[in-house]
Every structure is written in structure tokens, then in C-alpha cells.
Amino acid sequence: MKYKSQKVAYWFFALSMLLIVLQITYGFIMGFAHMGYDGLHEIIPFNAARATHNNLLVVWLLSGFMGAAYYIIPEEAQHELVSVKLAYIQLITLALVGVTAVIGFHFNWWEGRKFLEIPRELDFLVVINVLTFLGIILTTLFKGKKQSTTAMVLTMGLVFAALLYLPGMIWFDNQAMDSFFRWWVVHLWVEGVWELIMGGILAFLLIKLTGVDREVIEKWLYVIVGLTFLSGILGTGHHYYYIGAPEYWLIIGGIFSALEPLAFLAMALFALHMYRKGGRNHPNKIALFWTLGSAIVSFVGAGLLGLAHTLPSVNMYTHGTLVTAMHGHLAFWGAYGMIVFAMISYALPNLTGRKLYNNAMGMYGFWLSLIGMIGMTTAFAAAGVAQVYLERKVGLDFMVVQQEIEVHFLILILCATIFATGITLFIIDFVKYGQPTDEALNVSDDFEAIEATA
């Protein structure tokens, strides 16, 4: 750690860890409900569990991104954060808004729009919170000594993510319009500006972990985010096939969304290539695992499993089935979950001054969560394909089909247990690191420093 104010990042990461535990708990509640055990129905009906599961996911990811930005921006801009106090206030209000929203869901206080369930009153608080965050980041960046490409791409991603939250706040009488603009948030986030955030964090980690020249890494970063927008913006059309929008989206959405995996492929190849090219050995192996893992798994989950149902002729049958849930899990985990875990794994030793990396627990955490998530994806896939065939092809009733596929949710829960074990090990490691300290200030982990002490 080079700047005192970077310590704020730790608390955002800690909030992330707390919320992921809750998110997973609600995942189990839904898994059991799908199996026929909905004993909690009176207190936590399925829709409350789902809103909680999805919103906690978004909040812990955002908290992770914010922590990443508070860590990366001072280092890239060579300037302390302009206000640490404000950053802590922002952290606490973020947590409060999140918790209030989740409690509200259990009392039927929400907007019934998938992923955007947070009630309108709280939306305004979210906006203020995010503006505060952006204010701190932007002033630090522009007061700093330099504005590196990595920092600019990361910041641009965060700014656009905030802007794109707004179309989700407009009220429409027409359900189809509602859904049209809901995708400006949901799709343009995960297949657009969040990829900038991911790309920015990935570039930062690769610069730190492989020692490859910054100019080379940042050039490819531009190419990747260029590919992202080239395909992803018009790719929004893959959500406009069957919601009452015109037919030209079938062609435009089909072609451009089929190109979207290229950006993820580029990201995976880029990470692997830089790793090979680097040739220097950074001691923090576990951070490297999460970094490369994220680049590869996002290609499989978002790229390949997205491609699997993105053509209009396929999507006609898979639209709104468990096939979508299959893709949603591996894509979110690979692209955004794992990059947050990579950032945490990299930052913790530097923030706390304890070099606990490369212990067995960390490695088990990585592999168990990965294997568990792949298993969960497979279980959703089996359930989804069976559902599509029986319900949409054969024409059986929805509920009859659901009873047929209950067994896949048993497999889901078994695999989710493996996943949750991996996450638990990661969190135990997190706790073991202890809190950040100023003593870690002068311990550099740049290659020059590492090689000098080696």
C-alpha cells in the first residue's frame, strides 16, 4: 500500500463479504422452494427471497467495485483520496440503504421489476450515494499527477453505470416500454459498462502481477472495451425479440449479440497472454489464480453460455426459462464475482501487511467455489433444457413440468454446498488477515521491491 487513504477499500470489501453470505443464504431458500420445501413461505415468500438474492448480488458487487476503485485510483493517480471521511460516510449509507431495501422486500415494499426492485424513494438515496462516490473518485483522479488509461477506463465504467441507472426510474403505463428501458439498465450494465470496470480492474491486476509493460496492457484494454461496445450496444436487441418491440431487432440483436463473446474471448486471451509474457513470478499466486480464473470463466459463462441462447430461433424457446438462470449464474460469477475476489486477494496482503497468500485454505477456496459453481450451472442447465423441451416443445403444463424437474434442484443444492464451502474458506482467510494498518504503508509489492528483497 502506498497511500494511507487506500485503507477505506478494506471496509468495502468487508461489506461485500457480509452481503455475499446473505445472498447465498437466500439462494438456498429458493433452491429448497423449487424442490418443494417452501416451509418459509409465510415469512419469506419466493418473490421476497428472489428480490433479496438479486439485489444483494448487485450491492455486494458494487461494494466490491467501489472498494477496488478506492484502492486503485490513489495508486494510479498518485494522490491520496480527497476525503476519507466522506468515503466512510458513503460506505455506511450504502450499507444502510441496502439493508433497508432488503428488509422492505419482506414487507411487500418494492417495485416489481426484476433486478430493479429497490423502491423509488430509496432509488434517490442510491443516486446521492453513488454521486458522492463518483465525486471522491473524480476529484482524486483529476487532482492527481496522472490520468492513466487504466484509471480512466475504470472511472468511465463507474460514471456510465451511474448514468444508466436513471432510465430504470421512469414510470411507464405500458408494460412493454417498461421492459424496453429496464434493459438499458440491466443489459447495458452487464454487457456494457460493467465490462469497462472489469477491464480496468483486470488491467491493473495484470500490470501488478505479471510485470508486463503498462503501454502494452493498456493498448489491448482499449481494443477489448472497443469490442465490448461495438457488439454490446446493439446487442441489447437480444432482449427485444419477444417483448412487443419491432421485428428488426431479431436481425440486429441476433448479429450483434452473437459478436459479444468476442470481447470476452479477447479478455481471456489477453490475460493468458500477458501472464505468459510476463515471465516474472509474483509471490501472490492466489490473486493470479482469481484474475486468470475470472477472465476464463467469464468467457465460458457470459460468452459461450450467452451465445447458446442468443439467436432468435433458440431464444424463442428458451426465453424466460431456467436456461436463463443457468447462464446468469456462471456469467455473474465469472465476470464480476471472481474479479472482485481477485481484487480482494491482491489488496489484502498490501493493506494489512500480512503475507498470508499461498496457503492451502486459499487454494481450496478457489477450487471448491469454482467446482461448485460449475456444478450448479450444470444442474440449472439440465433443469432448463428439460423444461424447454417439455413445456415449450411438447406443450405440457408449466406446473406439471416443474414437478418433473424437481430432482435437478437436489443436485443444485449439493453443488451449492460445495460452492458455499469454498466461499466460507475464502472468508476465513479474509478474517485471518486482520484489519488494515499504517505499518503496511511502506511495504511495496512492485517487482523492483520484491526482487530487491528476494
Select from 200, 196, 220 the least CA-distant residue to 147: 200
Contacts (CB under 6 A) with ligand HEM, residues 3-62: 24, 27-28, 30-31, 34, 50, 53-54, 57
Residue type, 242: Y
Instruction: Compare residues 122 and 413 and give the one whose CB is closer to ligand HEM.
Output: 413
* CA–CA distance, 253 with 112 (Å, rounded to integer): 26
Are residues 282 and 450 in contact, defined by beta-carbon separation less than 8 angstroms? yes
Q: How far is the CB of 289 from ligand HEM (least distance, A)?
A: 18
Q: Looking only at residues 389 through 428 of this chain, which bind ligand HEC when binding is defined by CB under 6 A?
A: 399
Q: Which of residues 176-205 bind Fe ion (CB under 5 A)?
A: 187, 191
Kindly tell me which of 56 and 351 has the beta carbon lying closer to other proteins. Answer: 56
**Contact yes or no for 130/87 (Cβ under 8 A):** no
DSSP state of 304: I
Site residues (CB under 6 A) for ligand HEC, limited to 19-78: 45-47
Q: For residues 105 and 419, which CB has a smaller minimum distance to other proteins in the complex?
A: 105
Among 245, 288, 348, 379, binds other proteins (CB under 8 A): 245
Rounded distance between C-alpha atoms, residue 322 and residue 240, angstroms: 19
Q: How far is the CB of 143 from other proteins (least distance, A)?
A: 23
Please choose, from the candidates 261, 257, 123, 266, the residue with its C-alpha nearest in 3D space to the C-alpha of residue 185.
123
Cell numbers for 90, please give them: 458513503
User: How many Cα atoms are found within 13 Å in the side-chain-facing hemisphere of 258?
Assistant: 12
Q: What are the cell numbers at 327? A: 447462464
Q: CA–CA separation, 63 vs 151, rounded Å? A: 18
Amino acid at 398: F
The three three-digit cell numbers of residue 232, written as one number: 454490446
Residue list 250-269, contact with ligand HEM (CB under 6 A): 257, 260-261
How many residues sit in the footprint of ligand HEC (CB under 6 A)? 4
148 phi, psi to nearest 5 deg: -70, 160
Which residue's CB is nearer to other proteins, number 292 or number 323? Answer: 323
Residue 319 in contact with ligand HEM, rule: CB under 6 A? yes
Residues with Cβ within 8 Å of residue 220, at least 6 apart in sequence: 266, 270
> Using CA atoms, how far apart are residues 154 and 137, in angstroms rounded to an integer?
10
302 binds ligand HEM (CB under 6 A): yes
List % helix, strand, coil for the chain (3-state, nearest 5): 80, 0, 20
Q: In whole angstroms, what is the distance from residue 437 CA to residue 298 CA?
A: 34
Member of 18, 22, 233, 361 binding other proteins (CB under 8 A): 233
Nearest distance, CB of residue 146 and ligand HEM, angstroms: 30
- Applying CB under 6 A, does 309 fall inside the site for ligand HEM? yes
Residue at grid coordinates 500500500: 1
Q: Does 230 bind other proteins (CB under 8 A)?
A: yes
Eight-state DSSP code of residue 300: I
Looking at 75-83, 295-303, 348-356, 433-441, which segment touches ligand HEM (CB under 6 A)?
A: 295-303
109 lines the binding site for ligand HEM (CB under 6 A): no
Give the shortest CB-46-to-ligand HEC separation in angstroms.
4
Query: Which listed option, ligand HEC, ligand HEM, other proteins, none, makes contact with residue 225 (CB within 5 to 8 Å by class)?
Result: other proteins
Nearest approach in angstroms of CB 107 to ligand HEC is 14
In angstroms, the CA 20 to CA 435 distance is 19
Q: List binders of ligand HEM among 232-251 (CB under 6 A).
A: 238-239
Sole binder of ligand HEM in the list 67, 200, 211, 337 (CB under 6 A) = 337
Q: Given the rule CB under 6 A, which residues bind ligand HEM?
A: 24, 27-28, 30-31, 34, 50, 53-54, 57, 114-115, 186, 190-191, 238-239, 257, 260-261, 298, 302-303, 306-307, 309-310, 315, 319-320, 324-325, 327-329, 331-333, 335, 337, 412, 416, 419-420
Q: Given the rule CB under 6 A, which residues bind ligand HEC?
A: 45-47, 399
Q: Given the rule CB under 5 A, which residues bind Fe ion?
A: 187, 191
